[in-house]
Amino acid sequence: MSPWRVIVAAILLLLRGGRRGPAPQQPLDPRERRVPFNGRAELLVAALLMLGGLAGLGFALVYLLAPGGETQWLGLAVGVALALIAAALIVAGKAVVPQEIAVEERSELIDEQAEQEVPELLAEGVQGVTRRRLLARAAGVAGIGVGAALVAPAASLGPNVAQRIDATPWRRGVRVVDERGRAILADDVPFGTFVTGFPEGASLRDLASPIVIVRLPPSTIHLPDGRAQAAWAPEGLLAYSKICTHAGCAIALYRYPSFRATQPRPALVCPCHYSTFDPARGADVIFGPAGRPLPQLPLAIDPGTRELRANGGYSGSIGPAWLEVKRGGA
Cα atoms in the Cβ-side hemisphere of radius 13 Å centred on 79: 6
Name every residue whose Cβ is closer than 8 Å to that of residue 20 and which is 6 or more positions away in sequence: 13
Distance between CA atoms of residues 232 and 296, nearest Å: 8
Q: Taking CB under 8 A as the criterion, which residues in 82-111 touch another protein?
A: 82-83, 85-90, 92-94, 97-109
- Of 217, 244, 248, whose CA–CA distance to 233 is shortest? 217
Nearer Cβ to another protein, position 6 or 139?
A: 6
Name every residue whose Cβ is closer than 8 Å to that of residue 200 and which is 6 or more positions away in sequence: 174, 175, 176, 177, 181, 183
Nearer Cβ to another protein, position 8 or 121?
A: 8
Is residue 239 within the footprint of another protein (CB under 8 A)? no
Q: How far is the CB of 172 from another protein (least distance, A)?
A: 22
Distance between CA atoms of residues 199 and 208, nearest Å: 9
Cα atoms in the Cβ-side hemisphere of radius 13 Å centred on 42: 7
Nearer Cβ to another protein, position 178 or 187?
A: 178
Which residues face 309 on adjacent strands?
175, 300
Q: Taking CB under 8 A as the criterion, which residues in 21-80 touch another protein?
A: 21-31, 63, 67-69, 71-76, 78-80
Q: How far is the CB of 214 from another protein (least distance, A)?
A: 15
Is residue 153 within the footprint of another protein (CB under 8 A)? no
Q: How far is the CB of 190 from another protein (least distance, A)?
A: 20
Q: Using CB under 8 A, which of the segments 4-12, 186-194, 217-225, 226-234 binds another protein?
A: 4-12
Q: Find the binder of another protein among 3, 119, 128, 159 (CB under 8 A).
A: 159
Is residue 196 within the footprint of another protein (CB under 8 A)? yes
Burial of 92 (0-12, 13-18, 19+ CB in 10 A): middle
Q: Using CB under 8 A, which of the segments 12-20, 120-128, 140-148, 232-240 binds another protein?
A: 12-20
Q: Using CB under 8 A, which of the segments 143-151, 160-168, 213-221, 226-234 binds another protein?
A: 160-168
Q: How far is the CB of 287 from another protein (least distance, A)?
A: 6
Which residues face 287 on adjacent strands?
276
Q: Taking CB under 8 A as the criterion, which residues in 209-228 touch another protein?
A: 209-210
Nearer Cβ to another protein, position 289 or 312?
A: 289
Q: Find the binder of another protein among 249, 256, 281, 313 (CB under 8 A).
A: 249
Distance between CA atoms of residues 45 and 52, nearest Å: 10
Name every residue whose Cβ is closer than 8 Å to that of residue 80 and which is 6 or more positions away in sequence: 52, 55, 58
DSSP string, 219-285: GG--PPTT--HHHHSGGGEEEEESB-TTT--B--EEE--SSTTT--S-EEE-TTT--EEEGGGTTEE
Q: Using CB under 8 A, which of the segments 127-135, 215-223, 265-273, 308-316 binds another protein?
A: 265-273
Q: Find the binder of another protein among 201, 264, 324, 329 (CB under 8 A).
A: 324
Yes or no: say if 168 and 208 are a contact pair by the CB < 8 Å rule. Answer: yes
Q: Taking CB under 8 A as the criterion, which residues in 113-152 touch another protein?
A: none
Q: Using CB under 8 A, which of the segments 7-15, 136-144, 169-177, 216-224 binds another protein?
A: 7-15
Q: Using CB under 8 A, which of the segments 127-135, 225-233, 302-310, 316-324 binds another protein?
A: 316-324
